[in-house]
Amino acid sequence: MNCSCGHSHLRTGDEQVAAVNRLDRLDEQAIIEEYSVECWGKAITRDSPLADTAEGRRILGRIEAFENWSAENDVALDPFLTRYDVHSTIRETTQRIVRLPTMALAEYENGSLAYVTPHAGDEIETVTQRLETLENGS
């Protein structure tokens, strides 16, 4: 299993450091094969010139993959990954903003997305809870 832990902003720095420490332990114990950490901003919009950069396309591609996974697994990424419109009266435009989660964990099996946290199904599952589950071998 490969894990990618994405961080959007540093408001919960202690929680993010704890997650990376847990990923280190999981890697050392060979529970996961490897992990990488990516830092994202707080939000992204498809209409921005930044969305056309390599980093913007990568983030939007991840969001699309996460949304496809959530639909296939009948869970919700909202309120962790939310969309809203911002209207500019000066430019007379409306942009669709995607607010990114503070921290997300994407798990891959054989190169395919296998699991995403946080999400809400019957219950909410956070990144911290998922890492605990992996540590306990569940």
For the segment 16-75, what is each residue's pLDDT rounded down to a tens digit?
A: 889 999 999 999 999 999 999 888 888 899 888 888 999 999 999 999 999 999 999 999
Give yes or no for residue 11 having a pLDDT over 90: no
Provide the pairing of β-strand 2-7 with 34-39: parallel
Nearest residue to 66 via CA among 81, 56, 84, 45: 81
* Among 35, 26, 40, residue whose Cα is nearest residue 103: 40
CA atoms within 13 A on the CB side of 131: 23
Largest separation between any pair of C-alpha atoms in the chain: 55
Residue 54: HSE in the Cβ half-sphere, 13 Å Cα cutoff: 0
Q: What is the pTM of this model?
A: 0.85
pLDDT band at 1 (very low <50, low <70, confident <90, very high): very low
pLDDT at 125 over 70: yes
pLDDT band per the 50, 70, 90 thresholds, residue 137: confident
